[in-house]
Amino acid sequence: MAQQSKEDIILTESFEGGLKHSLYSNFRKWTEAFLELIDNAVSNRIPGKQISIVILTSSKMMEIINKGGYGMDIKELQEFLQWGKIKPRRDYDLGAYSQGGKSAMGYLGRAMKVRASPNGKKQMYTMEDSELHDYKLKSFRVTTLDAPSLDGLVDIEVTGLSRKINGEELEILVANIYRPLILNGSINVTHNGKKIKADDFPLDTTFNIQKFDFTTPQMIALGGGQIGTPKRIHGWIYC
């Protein structure tokens, strides 16, 4: 009979930087990675205040700048670097875990640069990673600068793109997914200087609502006798 160990054996979980490669591989197409990044920009908005989102793309880079939201302070930048950390959610947040944006950048390109300033403070922080595919855990030097305004700012730039970005598809995605926010003025989005507009579908004004309300007649079987009982049917249709 095996003898029970007199000492407890403790095994501890650990995180290796190589897991980044696995997270980068979660994306199947550039559109999924792009939506991770722009979701973060949209979620940074302040209720009741329009946020401006500028998207810049070329064959070599993608940059997403949101201005007029909460921005990010140094504490939030530190949390940004904590892979898998669960962040507090606002009611309208589109993401929950602090890994999607960083993974998206690693999927899209080779290097990234972040500029951020918190709303209400004229202080800007910048940091960069020149080799996203060096998977070891890293430390980053943050440079502090004067911000040009008190508006919150987050500027994410990915360079050395390894995925081809389709500008037309990007604009259609933004217009379709964020249509309600574009139409109500919560966000203003441009791509390479072109404003992205969303189609309005005012069903209530272009369609008429027709109500109906009737009772089915009594059915008489051949040879006499009733079949079933009259029923009231009512409702409405668009036409």
* Distances, alpha carbon 216 to alpha carbons 3, 210, 211, 230, in Å: 83, 19, 16, 5
Q: Do 151 and 217 fall within a single domain?
A: no
Which stretch of 9-18, 81-90, 183-192, 209-218 has the lowest confidence by average pLDDT?
209-218
Q: Do 72 and 181 fall within a single domain?
A: yes
Instruction: State the Cα–Cα distance between residues 30 and 27, nearest whole angstrom.
Output: 7
Q: Do 156 and 228 fall within a single domain?
A: no
Q: What is the pLDDT of residue 19?
A: 82
Confidence band for 137, pLDDT divided at 50, 70 and 90 = confident
> Does residue 129 sit in helix, strand or coil?
strand
> Does residue 238 sit in helix, strand or coil?
strand
Show the tokens assigned to 136: 């070891």
On whether the CB atoms of residues 217 and 232 are closer than 8 A, the answer is no
Q: Do 224 and 190 fall within a single domain?
A: no
How do residues 59-99 score in pLDDT, each as one tens digit? Answer: 999 999 999 999 999 999 998 888 776 666 555 444 433 45
Q: Do 189 and 208 fall within a single domain?
A: no
Last residue of a domain, one of 175, 195, 215: 195
On whether the CB atoms of residues 150 and 120 are closer than 8 A, the answer is yes
**pTM, rounded to two decimals:** 0.76
Q: Is 75 contained in some domain? A: yes
Q: Do 208 and 155 fall within a single domain?
A: no
160: domain CATH number is: 3.30.565.10
The yes-or-no verdict on residue 105 having pLDDT over 60 is yes
Please give the share of the chain, as a percent, with pLDDT higher than 70: 73
Domain count, the chain: 2
Q: Which domain holds residue 184?
A: 19-195
- Comparing C-alpha atoms, which of 58, 22, 57, 77 is closest to residue 189? 57
Q: Is 211 contained in some domain? A: yes
Q: Is 6 contained in some domain? A: no
Instruction: State the Cα–Cα distance between residues 1 and 95, nearest whole angstrom.
Output: 53
Which stretch of 32-46, 52-66, 81-95, 179-193 has the lowest confidence by average pLDDT?
81-95
Q: Do 217 and 110 fall within a single domain?
A: no
The yes-or-no verdict on residue 126 having pLDDT over 70 is yes
Q: Do 225 and 136 fall within a single domain?
A: no
What does 103-115 look like in DSSP terms, one character per residue?
HHHHHH-SEEEEE
Q: Is 3 contained in some domain? A: no
Show the tokens assigned to 215: 């009772």
Q: Is 86 contained in some domain? A: yes
* Distances, alpha carbon 208 to alpha carbons 8, 213, 234, in Å: 74, 16, 17
Instruction: State the Cα–Cα distance between residues 235 and 211, nearest whole angstrom.
Output: 6
Q: Do 210 and 133 fall within a single domain?
A: no
Q: Do 160 and 208 fall within a single domain?
A: no
What does 139-193 look like in DSSP terms, one character per residue?
--PPEEEE-SSSSEEEEEEEES--S---HHHHHHHHHHHTHHHHHTTSEEEEETT
Q: What is the pLDDT of residue 98?
A: 43
Q: Is 69 contained in some domain? A: yes
Q: Is 135 contained in some domain? A: yes
More confident residue, 52 or 235: 52
- Comparing C-alpha atoms, which of 95, 122, 89, 107 is closest to residue 38? 95
Q: Do 182 and 208 fall within a single domain?
A: no
Q: Is 11 contained in some domain? A: no
Instruction: State the Cα–Cα distance between residues 192 and 95, nearest whole angstrom.
Output: 26
Q: Do 141 and 216 fall within a single domain?
A: no
How do residues 142-154 score in pLDDT, each as one tens digit? Answer: 999 999 999 999 9
What average pLDDT does the segment 181-193 reach?
Answer: 96
On whether the CB atoms of residues 181 and 43 are closer than 8 A, the answer is no
